[in-house]
Chains A and B, each alone.
Chain A
């Protein structure tokens, strides 16, 4: 995605404290029109606070925050007419039906889409007369997205849209988000899931402790940290780590999740050298494999811990 035209979101040096805790500490980024921008990070990283400031739900302590080029602290009402918001909360008025909720939310806006169209857009046609409390987790999440689309927004905020969903429901939600992107909507989303960010987002920002640690497209982020690919095998094979580090092409050897991982610039050379070494010792490496570094590796490398810890 090229960053042309005026950005729909502009955040510069944003800070927000709760008491002594700096929830957001000097965050800056921009989101271009039509872009899907992802914010990744563990709980407490500051993603939700950042999003809620952009939605006009919280006041920033300092820094400048603009949406559609307008200052959110001064133009919240007119910004709210043009954005769609999906919060981590799912159930709204549990005893109202899907149709009733969409009608009600539509009435909050100056301009809104027909309820039938929204129900179809999120594939809830068969459940249109069901009370929201009786929907499955995936259906509730789709309803919550339909509610975010009620005013045909230009910019949509999705806060962990797939948390708690089974893989199938997650897939169907991804399709929904891709459909929105194809319609030219701009989307700012947060997620815990690396593969979700890799699948959906044009660019991602990795956040921790209120800072953005790294920002860019997924291949950029991986390429920036990992020139190597990883050769891995079961650690049950006892090999002297000093020797592993000196094998051809290896820049670093590590123990991760019961596996020995060799980061290598020359995969063929490394595997040849590894097999020669195990041959000479009279053993054989089990579950030997090669993989690209992933966003998960980037996160681990940046923060020293796995994302969902």
Chain B
């Protein structure tokens, strides 16, 4: 087996056999997901507001559909133009939009296939599912009336991001960002420990190339990052029904970039810290403020102005923001491109510092 893989396995074994490290890497973030999921997870709205857009000029079909939707007790209906309703949904006033396109009535009369459009926000999965089921039943019933069961009218699903993503949907990617931050920054501690105990020096006396030693460490942490992501997102999905709406590859890329940037910060810290006690203290001083100020547990907007300025210097702000944008269509603190650029900047600068200043003994 390749030396790099063997070292990585050694690192993974060391992590898995270290209860304290396991707690911080896995159980700590998981605990937060459950804690905040339960606090904020209760859905208090009993009624779902939807918009109804008639582009078919009051045809028989559109009047019948509007009547059918308004008879559902769970729903409250408002009508308006598509632009107005989209704006309302983006603003969070309504959760879905039903659009009857022009020509629907004529198509139904000719018994040729046509469809209505249903806008939902997949990140609001519970509400979206309810609306989709209702629409399915209504359209199915209409088909029965019109054509004796032949599916003349179909539903064309559309997605539209709404502003007010649920608190849990906000929290899940944020807590993942926090876990990645801790995973990276905490990497400083075992490194300083290994240097202090002379383990790095002992390995330096073997023919092993140093990059493999560092590489195995990075590889192990990146694997843990992926596991962390799967565990946290899985819990969000299974227990709190938080759906990931974005591109999974982009999400995985962000997880790796984020873990990489914070690992670089961990390595840079390890370059300046001499003892394990020092490392433990400094790592806490670095990670605690980020954990509370970077918009993990509550939105960035709730911070007073000067703290917002402080938070704008913290890399975690941008990782959490990017993950929310990609995973649940969260509103942005900065455009995704800026988030990625800032994280890449931290990665490159800290890696440079570590490469220049890291001491093996």
Chain A contact residues, CB within 8 Å of chain B: 55-57, 77, 80-81, 83, 85, 87-89, 91-96, 100, 103-105, 107-110, 131, 147
B17–A89 touching, CB < 8 Å: no
Q: How far is the CA of A85 from the CA of B361 in the complex (A)?
A: 16
Q: How far is the CA of A197 from the CA of B208 in the complex (A)?
A: 32
Min CB gap A19→B, angstroms: 16
B13–A95 touching, CB < 8 Å: yes
B10–A89 touching, CB < 8 Å: no
Query: Which of B63-71, B198-206, B226-234, B256-264 lines the interface with chain A?
Result: B198-206
Min CB gap A24→B, angstroms: 17
B206–A77 touching, CB < 8 Å: no
A96–B13 touching, CB < 8 Å: yes
Q: Say yes or no for B342: interface residue by CB 8 A criterion.
A: no
List of A residues within 8 angstroms of B204 by Cβ: 57
Specify the chain A residue showing the minimal Cβ separation from B198: A89
Q: Say yes or no for B305: interface residue by CB 8 A criterion.
A: no
Q: Which residues 179-207 in B have Cβ within 8 Å of A in the complex?
A: 197-199, 201-207
User: Contacts A95-B14, A96-B13, A100-B13; is A108 near B198 (CB within 8 Å)?
Assistant: no
Q: How far is the CA of A275 from the CA of B173 in the complex (A)?
A: 93
User: Contacts A87-B198, A107-B1; is A100 near B207 (CB within 8 Å)?
Assistant: no
Specify the chain A residue showing the minimal Cβ separation from B212: A108
Min CB gap A94→B, angstroms: 8
Q: How far is the CA of A95 from the CA of B202 in the complex (A)?
A: 17
Q: How far is the CA of A108 from the CA of B7 in the complex (A)?
A: 10
User: Contacts A96-B14, A103-B6, A104-B7; is A89 near B207 (CB within 8 Å)?
Assistant: no
B207–A85 touching, CB < 8 Å: no
List of A residues within 8 angstroms of B284 by Cβ: none
Q: How far is the CA of A56 from the CA of B3 in the complex (A)?
A: 21
Specify the chain B residue showing the minimal Cβ separation from A109: B207
B1–A131 touching, CB < 8 Å: no
Chain B contact residues, CB within 8 Å of chain A: 1, 3, 6-7, 10, 13-14, 17-18, 197-199, 201-208, 361
Q: How far is the CA of A93 from the CA of B3 in the complex (A)?
A: 16
List of A residues within 8 angstroms of B7 by Cβ: 104
A95–B1 touching, CB < 8 Å: no
B206–A131 touching, CB < 8 Å: no
List of A residues within 8 angstroms of B361 by Cβ: 57
Specify the chain A residue showing the minimal Cβ separation from B3: A107
Q: How far is the CA of A110 from the CA of B207 in the complex (A)?
A: 9
Specify the chain A residue showing the minimal Cβ separation from B21: A95
Interface of A is mostly: loop
List of A residues within 8 angstroms of B3 by Cβ: 107-108
A100–B205 touching, CB < 8 Å: no
Min CB gap B212→A, angstroms: 9
List of A residues within 8 angstroms of B208 by Cβ: 108
A89–B199 touching, CB < 8 Å: yes
B17–A56 touching, CB < 8 Å: no
Q: How far is the CA of A136 from the CA of B309 in the complex (A)?
A: 54
Q: What are the 6 tightest A-B residue pairs by CB atom distance, in nearest-first order?
A: A89-B198, A85-B205, A95-B17, A108-B208, A108-B206, A80-B207
Min CB gap B357→A, angstroms: 18
Min CB gap B269→A, angstroms: 22
Specify the chain A residue showing the minimal Cβ separation from B6: A107
User: Contacts A56-B205, A109-B206; is A95 near B18 (CB within 8 Å)?
Assistant: yes
B207–A81 touching, CB < 8 Å: yes
A108–B202 touching, CB < 8 Å: no
Q: By CB atoms of chain B within 10 A, which of A56, A77, A89 has the most?
A: A89
B6–A89 touching, CB < 8 Å: no
User: Contacts A93-B14, A104-B6, A104-B10; is A77 near B1 (CB within 8 Å)?
Assistant: no
B199–A92 touching, CB < 8 Å: yes
B207–A108 touching, CB < 8 Å: yes
Can you list 19 contacts pairing A with B, beta carbon distance less than 8 Å? A55-B205, A56-B205, A57-B205, A80-B207, A83-B205, A89-B201, A92-B203, A95-B14, A96-B13, A96-B14, A103-B6, A104-B6, A104-B10, A107-B1, A107-B6, A108-B3, A109-B206, A109-B207, A110-B207
Specify the chain B residue showing the minimal Cβ separation from A110: B207
User: Contacts A96-B13, A100-B10, A108-B207; is A89 near B18 (CB within 8 Å)?
Assistant: no
Instruction: Apart from A56-B205, A87-B205, A89-B198, list 14 A-B contacts with CB within 8 A.
Output: A57-B205, A81-B207, A89-B202, A92-B202, A96-B10, A100-B10, A103-B6, A104-B7, A107-B1, A107-B3, A108-B3, A109-B206, A109-B207, A131-B17
User: Contacts A95-B13, A96-B14, A104-B7; is A88 near B207 (CB within 8 Å)?
Assistant: no
